[in-house]
Structure 1
Amino acid sequence: MTMIRRSIDTPIRTDLDWHTTWKGEDKGLIKCWEVGRQLAQSKPELAEAAGRDELPVTNWKGGVSRTLKKLDKYGALKYLAQWQGLRGEDLAVDLAREVTITCSKTGMVVTFTPDVSKFLDQTTEDAAEGDEQDGRSAPGISEQSLFS
């Protein structure tokens, strides 16, 4: 199964263990989408930004806060799933395909990819250009965030 789909009308799951959530067939994309739906409620400014086709910064690699010298970058499919949740959309992410979105606020072109090495390799470049979150490099979700 490479296409992960879920209807926006589907209730958010509450009873899954860590292994099922993050290591299951969907590779954690459903959880990321559900978190996006929850963030839309708790941080409506993020949902509004996503609704304007912006790519706001979250814990996953893919959001942009400003225009960098290099106008294109890679992001995680987990960000794409969370972004769809923020927008109130059905989840529709193909684990085998890249998706490219241009941020309406910054003009940055982000390609969301299943190839983790593509966005891990650019972390050093982003830090050199000052693409930071909360005063630290933003390579993706922190380990602590997985358990809270």
Structure 2
Amino acid sequence: MRKKIAIILLCFFASCINPNIKTLDLKNFSISVPKDWNYNQAKGVDSFVGDIEGPGITLSFDFSTMGFANHLSDLEHESQNVKVDSSGEYIIKTIRPKIAGKGITGIYIQSRKSSLNFQMNGRDLAELQQEQALTAFNTIKIKQKGNGDPLPFK
């Protein structure tokens, strides 16, 4: 009887996991993305950089423990929606174009306690890819702490 209940519970919990999503466990952070997206390593000098690519989408990222990631501030203008949020540990800025396919969809995360910052963005994403990117951004988990004093938020 216990074995039967355990099997039923296992099947129930397994069905809650989306089989079309995978988690990319990258050195300093993790992110959940559609199964057909892949990580491509790039060579960075003073930060961890790379791309996550899928059908019709490329998201580039820059993870820096020294504050060198782009703040995305230069991309804020009338054609972009900008949302700033915060948690006890991070300030989080999300940008997206007002018209899908015409602008940058991105996230910027800055530590409140150190110089760690991170940004990921894609350019001119179709509406479906923009929604997929924003959904993926919400799953980002930072795994490393930064060095140095906190940065001013831009």
TM-score band by shorter chain is under 0.3
- The TM-score, its normalising length taken from structure 2, stands at 0.25
Q: Which has the higher helix share?
A: 1
Higher relative contact order, chain-length normalized (CA < 8 Å, sep 6+): 1
Which of the pair has more CA radius of gyration? 2
- The TM-score, its normalising length taken from structure 1, stands at 0.26
